[in-house]
Structure 1
């Protein structure tokens, strides 16, 4: 059996679902992951309508079936443990709803994040502890784990009841952003249905090796995002944890939302790193080795492109990524 190659349709939110699926199929892909909540809107997945009606679900799945495409995942990446009520409460609700919807649709995996709590019960904003050399940081981390563990015990039970795997992105600015943190989460929750969404792009700029991480995690990898990162000369003097970002005005076109009243900031003009189309940061030989490691975990794993390279248009970048992904796959 072969790995299943598809794409996350967030980069095609400017067109209806059917047209987005046609674009993926023309690129040689067979699967589609759609957004169902979290940071960004979900125009390709009317969650409430689908939860309410079996007929609506059948019609929805028919859009995929008539094009020979698979619905290979639901995405609700956000901050479900944030102290900001319009972020944490909403995103936690989205995670629960998406698990239930996935179960009804027969989708076996969803993608989300662990989130980032605040420093203590009175905190207003999320706080990401990057390097806890100061003793007080351990108190913050102890509190944050006391929030995240009970939440994911509940999420794991709900996922088990719905026969769904909840796959977490090892994404910076989350409590769970590397392999040891994920292993701790599984140990402290006793989870059976929480796995990793292996997105190499978030590992590269942390100086992690996605192949090594995949081999260590083994069956704890449940989903894959095909996304690349390129490290630039600016890393020599910025490092990879710089804060030299800029404000984006509220009336700016094309801003990317993160919560009500908040959106992504502007990157520095000379960044240390940035996300690039799949295959533009690492060559086909590397990606063939990565896919081989994924296939050892599950030869039918869903591998979905996530296009976030601002240097290319949405369709152009997706097509570049698809060509490079399928070229790497041909080397297996």
Structure 2
């Protein structure tokens, strides 16, 4: 097993790239994943400058080399299929530019989302179809796939041209949010350079078992996010598709960040689930089995902590996650 263990640096947006890498190194991690567009800004990578000159790219990579850190992924999670003028076209362009940049700096993995179109050509907002047991929703899905397939065939060809592997995060509110929907994507698009970013937090949220998903997806898994979810007692009466949320709090101190400049709606008092620091939802023994299952299908993966637990500070959450992940890695190697 030759995994690289690192973290996604978006949670350290208030630090310079150098400072963020120092935090990761101090936690015992050896890899870093950097945001380059999509829903949140890119504080640790000036994409324009990096695309514009070889010198800028050399200086950027030297920051990692000087700290003994590997650059293990570029993330551009957005909605490239959205009808919203603030999302679709811009996010698709961010994705194209990220693929080009990854090719120029020798980064294999680009993390993305499959996206969600609207319901029809005149739609103003994206619409996630969750359970199309009636005919109307199936008609919407047929339209959405008709939008998605041409774009993703184009993007797949671009990734192939630059020798880059796109890894879809199977995230709710996207066309691809589970192993079966990824398999539908495979059948429709027939990609050569698009696989899966195995993020267990979104699978736990949907009441899936990530280890079973690993076994089903197999070698289609090309990247991993180490992120945890706790399913809470509220799920007994709310279910995990709960809509009882309120707007983002007026008081900034009460807000839960989801990225740079983005915040969660206000959660119910007894929520069905929450994202938690790695180890707070599932113990080291579970993550040992998780890593062992991954190694069985792909022994050469980058595994990056994604910290989104508002109960812990940026550094504290990363450190807690790193302790859990590295202990699980040690046990998996034994």
Q: TM-score range by the shorter chain?
A: over 0.9
Map 1:191-206 → 2, pairs under 5 A: 191-206=191-206
Match of 2:309 in 1: 309
Match of 2:298 in 1: 298
CA 1:329 to 1:258, structure 2 compared with 1: closer, same or farther past 3 Å?
closer
8 Å Cα contact 2:10-2:260 kept in structure 1:
no
Residue 117 of structure 1 pairs with residue 117 of structure 2: yes
Residues of 2 paired with 1:233 and 1:310: CA distance? 19
Specify the SS of the correspondent of 1:5: strand
Match of 2:318 in 1: 318
CA 1:251 to 1:271, structure 2 compared with 1: closer, same or farther past 3 Å?
closer
Residues of 1 paired with 2:165 and 2:60: CA distance? 21
Residue 138 of structure 1 pairs with residue 135 of structure 2: no
Match of 1:182 in 2: 182
Residues of 2 paired with 1:8 and 1:316: CA distance? 15
CA 1:258 to 1:131, structure 2 compared with 1: closer, same or farther past 3 Å?
farther
| Structure 2, gaps ≥5 residues long | none
Map 1:17-36 → 2, pairs under 5 A: 17-36=17-36
1:11, CA displacement in angstroms? 0.6
**TM-score, L = length of structure 2:** 0.96
Map 1:274-293 → 2, pairs under 5 A: 274-293=274-293
* RMSD of equivalent CA atoms: 1.6
The size of the alignment, in residue pairs, is 331
Specify the SS of the correspondent of 1:224: strand
8 Å Cα contact 1:87-1:259 kept in structure 2:
no
Map 1:65-76 → 2, pairs under 5 A: 65-76=65-76
Match of 2:242 in 1: 242
Residue 99 of structure 1 pairs with residue 99 of structure 2: yes
Residues of 1 paired with 2:146 and 2:250: CA distance? 35
Q: Deviations over 1:9-59 (max 9, x none)?
A: 011011000010000000000000000001111100100100000000000
8 Å Cα contact 2:258-2:308 kept in structure 1:
no
1:259, CA displacement in angstroms? 11
1:153, CA displacement in angstroms? 0.4
**TM-score, L = length of structure 1:** 0.96
Deviates more, 1:172-181 or 1:241-250: 241-250
Residues of 2 paired with 1:191 and 1:319: CA distance? 37
Deviates more, 1:193-202 or 1:208-217: 208-217
Post-superposition, which runs of at least 4 consecutive aligned residues in structure 1 deviate over 6 A? 257-260
Specify the SS of the correspondent of 2:141: helix
Map 1:263-274 → 2, pairs under 5 A: 264-274=264-274
Map 1:142-221 → 2, pairs under 5 A: 142-221=142-221
8 Å Cα contact 1:31-1:70 kept in structure 2:
yes
